[in-house]
Amino acid sequence: MSEEIIRVEHLKKYFQVRSGFFSKSHKVLKAVDDVSFTIRKGEIFGVVGESGCGKSTLARCILRLGDVTDGNVFFQGHDISRLKPAQLKEYRSKMQMVFQNPFSSFNPSMTIRQTFLEIGRVYGMERAATEERSRELVRQVRLPEDILLRRPNELSGGQLQRLAIARALFLNPPFILADEAVSALDVSVQAQILNLILDLRDSLGLTMLFISHDLTVVEHLCDTVLVMYLGSVVELAPTRELFANLLHPYSQALVSAKPREHPDAPANRIMLEGEAKSAIDGGSGCRFAPRCRYFQSGKCDCDTPVLREVTPGHFVACHRYDETEEKQ
């Protein structure tokens, strides 16, 4: 088995939020609630779920942009979950990020060349070496070298996102985290960027955590997929296995909501009915219960389902799989 790059163990990130607009009392919002997984070298690990389910909060915890409430994050075997900012310095260059909006992630007053020179300066690289590395990276993300002389407002979203990937690769980091990195792009440009990431994975051995609300994107790109719902992991499996045997009712609904490839294809859409619980709601029971078509009274509303391995490598948190491996 290849080297472990990221290991997250029982990670929790809770926020204190006001109970109401005029209220002085607080409630606890469980944005990430007991999440565990491992990412190995060369793996593209996908995290998918609706907006607000805690994907970006999870990302911030892994990058240690803020404190974690409980649990641990290991980077290449080192527990970084309680390190102070000064101690985190050596890890910052090893974990790079690609953001959703490439336009706001580049300094508009600098050319791309100046942006790269600035990174080289911060990390103590020789100017000539920085220039050489910049040209090499631009070629790697399949852009012409003269693009280095342009400013962000002279570039398209797709070009800028390629450059954001190049920037993330600058220091040859062992780990890249991409949060909704293709969500702001047109579908055809999205496909080009996804193919570029796949090529870079093959040529450079990239290890990546790829976050998206879009299941189609995750299916195309990722080796492993983790499905999140209101702060918790509901299903986790290698991508092929997950899409061949969707177990959790939420994953099934997400897949059925995918746009059909052809208008004549049958629409087996599962409508998510009922009001979603909130990550603030306390109490036991399954968080998906109000929207679940398999809801079992006396079970799903009482006991919180735990994530368990129902077939090798395929984990699900749902009472339907408590006794038998598969009931459907």
Ligand X SMILES: Nc1ncnc2c1ncn2[C@@H]1O[C@H](COP(=O)(O)OP(=O)(O)O)[C@@H](O)[C@H]1O
Which residues in this chain contact ligand X in the complex, by CB under 6 A? 15, 17, 29, 31, 49, 51-57, 279
Q: Which of 15, 294, 302, 311 binds ligand SF4 (CB under 6 A)?
A: 294
Name which of Mg ion, ligand SF4, ligand X, none residue 91 binds, using a CB cut-off of 5 to 8 Å depending on partner kind: none
C-beta closer to Mg ion: residue 112 or 211: 211
Q: Does residue 319 touch ligand SF4 according to CB under 6 A?
A: yes
Give the DSSP H/E element, type plus range, for residue 122: helix 112-122
Tokens of 13: 């990130």
Q: In 10 A of CB 112, how many CB atoms?
A: 25
x-marked contacts with ligand SF4 along 232-261 as a string, rule CB under 6 A: -----------------x------------
Name which of ligand X, Mg ion, ligand SF4, none residue 289 binds, using a CB cut-off of 5 to 8 Å depending on partner kind: ligand SF4
C-beta of 61: minimal distance to ligand X in Å? 10
C-beta closer to ligand SF4: residue 155 or 318: 318
Q: Does residue 99 touch ligand SF4 according to CB under 6 A?
A: no
Judged by CB under 6 A, the stretch of 9-17, 220-228, 260-268, 287-295 that binds ligand SF4 is 287-295
User: What Cα–Cα distance (Å) separates residue 154 from each residue in 5, 113, 210?
Assistant: 37, 13, 27
Instruction: Tell which residue, 232, 226, 210, 204, has the closest CA to residue 289.
Output: 232
Instruction: Tell which residue, 94, 240, 236, has the closest CA to residue 177.
Output: 94
Is residue 234 within 8 A of residue 227, CB to CB? The reply is yes
Residue type for position 158 = G
79-94 burial, b if ≥16 CB within 10 A, otherwise e? ebbebeeeeeeebeee
Q: Does residue 56 touch Mg ion according to CB under 5 A?
A: yes
Rounded CA-CA distance 46/224 in Å is: 6
Instruction: Tell which residue, 65, 64, 7, has the closest CA to residue 41.
Output: 7
C-beta closer to ligand X: residue 17 or 244: 17
Q: Does residue 212 touch Mg ion according to CB under 5 A?
A: no
C-beta closer to ligand X: residue 27 or 220: 27
Rounded CA-CA distance 252/235 in Å is: 11
- In the complex, which residues of this chain contact ligand SF4 (CB under 6 A)? 249, 286, 288-289, 292, 294-296, 300, 305, 318-320
